[in-house]
């Protein structure tokens, strides 16, 4: 018999009493995720990420008061409850691994960004006065990321964000704010992670790199002799030409106007 058997049964009984099980499991994942990140005050984002008011959050979790303290913010009374959640053999359907918690935390950030940007698209006048500054901003703008996950998890979590980026290309440019910056930072993290994986999988030939570098320098030098429109066309064509010689798959993707815009946005961000 497990030494935690009686304690685990008590935990499970309390968890089963919660009416909104889906909400509970999402919050437990958020709890594991944010406690896995060494950043202060992440609890301040609980209502934003769960998309509820403080009052509603407390009401939905009111049956959890035996396991969670509500003041000064919602947190566990003791680390043993987190240990229970992260042990599949003990928590069963309520199990949340550290990786699972971090991934759900990232997904909730993406959901929050999408809600905010979508509202800004529909109500641009309201967005002009946006002062939202969530704590996850400080998590996302750190390099390397504090959300340590495999690139596959990042790709899956950010899929909805890439769809939103496509929508943004057909709307007037939004006024920059903390949330639009978070969107850029998330995309940049993904690009960096994908680049690292590709670099590890394939070491390019040094002569080919030298050739591509020379062509890039030539493009920059000749750009000053053309009109702005010609500069853009020539640089983009040159980029495709270089990519075709090193990575035909990437070149095919960059041909997409959508991906080209993302690339330009990322270059703009890096050069700030």
Could you tell me if 143 and 257 lie in one domain?
yes
- Can you give the pLDDT at residue 224? 47
Could you tell me if 20 and 35 lie in one domain?
yes
Residue 122 located in a structural domain: yes
Beta bridge partners of 226: none
Residue 2 CA: distances (Å) to CA of 10, 130, 195: 14, 52, 46
Could you tell me if 120 and 84 lie in one domain?
no
Looking at the structure of the chain, the number of domains it has is 2
Could you tell me if 62 and 147 lie in one domain?
no
The domain containing residue 257 runs over which residues? 102-199+238-271
- pLDDT of the chain, 272 residues: tens digit per residue: 788 999 999 999 999 999 999 999 999 999 999 999 988 899 999 999 999 999 999 999 999 999 999 999 999 999 999 999 999 999 999 999 999 999 999 999 999 999 999 888 888 776 555 677 899 999 998 888 889 999 999 999 999 988 888 778 777 777 888 898 999 999 999 998 888 666 555 545 444 444 444 444 454 455 445 544 444 445 545 555 555 555 555 545 544 444 555 555 555 555 55
Helix ranges (H only) for the chain are: 5-16, 21-35, 46-50, 54-60, 79-85, 88-91, 98-122, 124-127, 136-140, 151-168, 178-201, 206-223, 228-246, 248-254, 257-270
Could you tell me if 143 and 248 lie in one domain?
yes
Residue 231 located in a structural domain: no
Q: Which of 96, 129, 150 is the last residue of a domain?
A: 96
Q: Which of 76, 96, 116 is the last residue of a domain?
A: 96
């Amino acid at each position: 018999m497990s030494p935690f058997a009686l304690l685990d049964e008590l935990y499970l009984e309390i968890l089963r009493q919660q009416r909104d099980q889906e909400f509970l499991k999402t919050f437990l994942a958020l709890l594991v995720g944010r406690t896995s990140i060494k950043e202060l005050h992440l609890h301040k984002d609980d209502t934003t990420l769960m998309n509820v008011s403080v009052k509603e959050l407390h009401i939905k979790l009111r049956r959890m008061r035996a396991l969670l303290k509500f003041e000064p913010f919602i947190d566990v009374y003791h680390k043993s409850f987190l240990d229970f959640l992260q042990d599949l053999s003990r928590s069963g359907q309520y199990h949340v691994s550290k990786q699972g918690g971090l991934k759900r935390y990232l997904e909730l950030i993406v959901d929050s960004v999408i809600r905010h940007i979508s509202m800004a698209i529909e109500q641009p006048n309201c967005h002009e006065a946006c002062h939202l500054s969530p704590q996850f901003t400080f998590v996302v703008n750190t390099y390397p990321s504090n959300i340590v996950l495999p690139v596959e998890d990042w790709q899956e979590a950010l899929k909805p964000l890439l769809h939103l980026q496509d929508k943004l290309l057909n709307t007037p440019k939004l006024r920059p704010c903390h949330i639009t910056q978070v969107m850029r930072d998330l995309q940049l993290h993904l690009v960096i992670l994908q680049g690292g994986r590709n670099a590890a999988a394939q070491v390019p030939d040094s002569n080919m790199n030298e050739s591509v570098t020379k062509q890039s320098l030539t493009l920059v030098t000749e750009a000053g002799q053309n009109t702005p429109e010609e500069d853009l066309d020539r640089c983009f064509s040159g980029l495709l030409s270089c990519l075709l010689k090193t990575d035909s798959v990437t070149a095919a993707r960059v041909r997409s106007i959508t991906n080209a815009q993302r690339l330009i946005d990322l270059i703009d961000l890096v050069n700030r």
